[in-house]
Structure 1
Amino acid sequence: MLCCAAQAQTPTAAPMAPVAHGGLAHSGLAHHGLAQALDAAWQRTQAGTEAAAARERAAAARLAADSLLPAPPALELNHRSDRWHKDTGALENEVGLALPLWLPGQRAARQAAAASAATLAEADEGASRLQLAGEVREAAWAVAGLQAEAAVAQAQLGYLRDIATDVGRRVQAGELAHSDALAAEAEALAAEGALAEVRERLFAAQARWLALTGLDALPALDEAPAPASADALPAGHPALQRAAQAVDKARREVEVVRRDVIDAPELTVSYRREVAERGAAAERSLAFGLRLPFGGDARNRPLAAAAQGELAQAQAEEMRLRLQLEGDLAAARAGLDAARAQAAAAGKRTGLLRERASLIDKAFRAGEASLPELLLAANAAAQADAAMARQQAALGLARARLNQISGFLP
């Protein structure tokens, strides 16, 4: 039986195969999907910490905007005495409180900006998770494809070793020349080297997967395909939501600057106790005051220009991102169609070469075909099997990339 002709199926739930010199072992996590792998990767990445920090900043901004005062109050203490010159006993003590005041519409504008910042923090987390999902998908399919290649290379090695053993027996029986035994052994050694090369690449891919997710097993690549009828980007695309929310936040900041025309006015309330001269009765009074800072272009125009610049940049980034994603979506759909066609062609070619190798194998065992002819046919079938395994993984990756560009999380 032709061992190298065993069809390589795309692995969808297989654990990582152990490889030589510290390969990854099997794990109960093998039956978990990409969603669990994404969660594991999220816990290991700095993006999760940054998202939490952004939420904390947004919460702090909202707390400040909801405050009754735009800034903390200030305590004023004054003491006056003529002890060091006339020394008539004149004495004055004053304690006051300065209360910053909101300008008309300023508090509402800052509350709206704080709410927009909180929504942006959530949108930024969703976009970061989507970006990380792309890395997880790429890493998973890289391992899956190499696992399939390693399985094909292992089968080919086993087959060639069987051939070498059979040729050795026939050489001893005088049916084949010693050169045939050498050729068969050389082909088996070449297959052994090819298997080692594939395992080396597999080990590297597994190491990248382990560093990314912390999982020692490949999950089931079971995500649902993107809807075939969705030719446009979905409205809930995380990256587009983040860009749109960045525009909204910038617009809110423009409104904050428009309302914040001067520094905060201050209402002062003070209590004064004064004595005109030594022995005189103390007089007490309560005073109210209002401090109004001036604004002007020197203060306001740079702030307004900066806010408008941030808004224009956010709007341009949103447009650029939408155009880029639309182009990437069209390319991903075309790539998926091409991968399907290539996988179908690879499957047909593999079937033909496998059948041919099987026929030549039977003829060789019957003494009707030469060893070089058998080895050529076996190598061609094995190469076709490996190509089909790679193409099946490429097809799965093309589906995953379409989901990624469409904004769908695993």
Structure 2
Amino acid sequence: MKTYHEWRYCGLGGFPRNILLVTTLLFGACSSFATAQTTSSFGSLHDAVEAAWTNDPAQNDLAVQESGARKRERAAKSWFAGGPSIDAQYYDDRPSGRNYAYRTTQVGLSVPLWLPGQGTATEDVARSETKFAQIQREVAHMAIAIRVTDAVGALQLAQARKAAAQTTLSAFRRIANAVDKSVRSGESTSSDLQAVKGQMGVVESEVNTSVEDMDTSQASLDILTGHPTQASLEGIDVNWPLYQKIRALPWSEERDPRLREVHQKVLVATEKDHLAARSYMPNPEIGAGVINQGQYGSPWDTQIGVSLRMPIPTDVTRVPVRTQAQSALSTAMREETDTRRAILAEVARVQARLRNTSASVVTTAQAAHDMQARADAVEKSWRAGETPLIEALRARMDAYDARLRFNTAETGYRIAIVRAVIAWGYLP
């Protein structure tokens, strides 16, 4: 993660541009370590998001749903409401023990008919479900982008914490060597050395914790992408092209795929309600039949005719279907309202976080620089015998804490920019 450069702020809160945070090295050699990692070996956030999206198992599920909806749409264009059925009957008096040569063979073929408007309503439902499946893909892609961004941010912050802890640990080791020489020469007591080693133990524990967090975050990122992945938020600031694009556009929740998903769900439920209204009874059937029969003392006879089966509408079958469709529509409308409110609240949080992190990066960077300079000055004063050892240790820990606050603010700032871009309907 970069620790010194010129930050340019143009956040949602209208922060001034071209603020020079730190004009000199903020954290010495450890800065070079972090910068080398982010600039040479780390890939872009876009590559990580696309790799995770390619590896997402939801791809196949959503593709199957979309394909199924398209097939239902094509099937709804059929002339008939269902497949044909065959009705065959045969009667013979021989099994009864009375052989009067009575034979009857009857075969019929019938097909169900669409009720008025039912076929068109079925097509509309399938068409809406196809579009719903397409929007679901956008929502899934958005969710993957957010998860990858959080994972990369957590990994980058853990790396920054490790670098800060290692830098502080190096400073404590330098002090410990000096105190150890002083103890051997009789100029200091062993308690001074113990105090330094105690602080070293605390920082070493922070190194181990940050390494654990790095491993956990890296594993999460690798699981998302399906292979070992290196990514960084480096270059994510107010000059990022996607962020510049959203600044030129007024925000509207209508561009959020989550809202479009629930809105399309309302349309699907509406079309299903229309279909339920046109499915007020079982489908009638029309067909043709052939009867061949013969009887003792009578000539054989063959008859051909047509048949019509027309169920009578009744509330027993109509009302449950209609009320269920209306209930589903009401639920979908409630979900749309809840989702709209949740999106508005989320965007408000994103805007507030972007404003706050923009200010925090400025103040924490300056504070980290000042505390680092103070720690170096206090250590120099301690070596000259002008300041107690405890003050040098405390100053070094204060510098370490200040750097952690800066790292946290910087990572949060970059994540806030990405989340703002996603909230505007774009993907990194």
Q: Same fold (TM over 0.5)?
A: yes
Q: Does 1:243 align with 2:254?
A: no
| SS at structure 2 position matched to 1:235 | helix
| SS at structure 2 position matched to 1:98 | strand
Structure 2: gaps of 5 or more residues: 1-24, 237-241
User: For the residues of structure 2 that align with 1:377 and 1:248, how far apart are their CA atoms?
Assistant: 63
> What does residue 355 of structure 1 align with?
373
> What does residue 253 of structure 1 align with?
272
- Identify which of structures 1 and 2 has the higher relative contact order when contacts are C-alpha pairs closer than 8 Å and 6+ apart: 1
| SS at structure 2 position matched to 1:331 | helix
| SS at structure 1 position matched to 2:305 | strand
User: For the residues of structure 2 that align with 1:255 and 1:133, how far apart are their CA atoms?
Assistant: 37
Q: Does 1:217 align with 2:218?
A: no
> What does residue 126 of structure 1 align with?
138
Corresponding letter in the other structure for 1:59: R
Asked if the contact 1:360/1:377 (under 8 Å) is kept, the reply is yes
Give, in angstroms, the shift of residue 62 of structure 1: 2.0
Select the residue among 405, 410, 423 that pairs with 1:387: 405
Structure 1: gaps of 5 or more residues: 17-25
The CA RMSD measured in Å over matched residues stands at 3.0
* 1:112-168 CA distance string (max 9 Å, x none): 111111111111222122223222222221111111111110111112212222333
| SS at structure 1 position matched to 2:281 | coil
**Structure 1 pair 297–3 and aligned structure 2 pair: CA distance change class (3 A):** closer
**Structure 1 pair 67–3 and aligned structure 2 pair: CA distance change class (3 A):** closer
User: For the residues of structure 1 that align with 2:33 and 2:286, how far apart are their CA atoms?
Assistant: 74
Corresponding letter in the other structure for 1:118: T
Asked if the contact 1:145/1:389 (under 8 Å) is kept, the reply is yes
| SS at structure 1 position matched to 2:255 | coil
Asked if the contact 1:13/1:218 (under 8 Å) is kept, the reply is no
- With 132-141 and 378-387 compared, the bigger mean Cα shift is at 132-141
User: For the residues of structure 2 that align with 1:220 and 1:347, how far apart are their CA atoms?
Assistant: 20
> What does residue 204 of structure 1 align with?
216
> What does residue 227 of structure 1 align with?
246
Q: Does 1:294 align with 2:306?
A: no
Asked if the contact 1:64/1:70 (under 8 Å) is kept, the reply is no
Q: Does 1:340 align with 2:375?
A: no
**Structure 1 pair 243–108 and aligned structure 2 pair: CA distance change class (3 A):** same
* 1:272-329 CA distance string (max 9 Å, x none): 2222337x65333321111111112222122111111211221221122112211221
Corresponding letter in the other structure for 2:258: A
User: For the residues of structure 1 that align with 2:344 and 2:26, how far apart are their CA atoms?
Assistant: 46
> What does residue 169 of structure 2 align with?
157
Corresponding letter in the other structure for 1:253: K
Q: Does 1:67 align with 2:85?
A: no
| SS at structure 1 position matched to 2:254 | coil
TM-score (norm 1): 0.86
User: For the residues of structure 2 that align with 1:158 and 1:367, how far apart are their CA atoms?
Assistant: 21
Give, in angstroms, the shift of residue 339 of structure 1: 1.0
Asked if the contact 1:8/1:148 (under 8 Å) is kept, the reply is no
> What does residue 54 of structure 1 align with?
65
* 1:341-378 CA distance string (max 9 Å, x none): 11111011112112222223333444544433322222
> What does residue 375 of structure 1 align with?
393
- With 90-99 and 369-378 compared, the bigger mean Cα shift is at 369-378
Corresponding letter in the other structure for 2:166: Q
| SS at structure 2 position matched to 1:387 | helix
Q: How many residues align?
A: 396
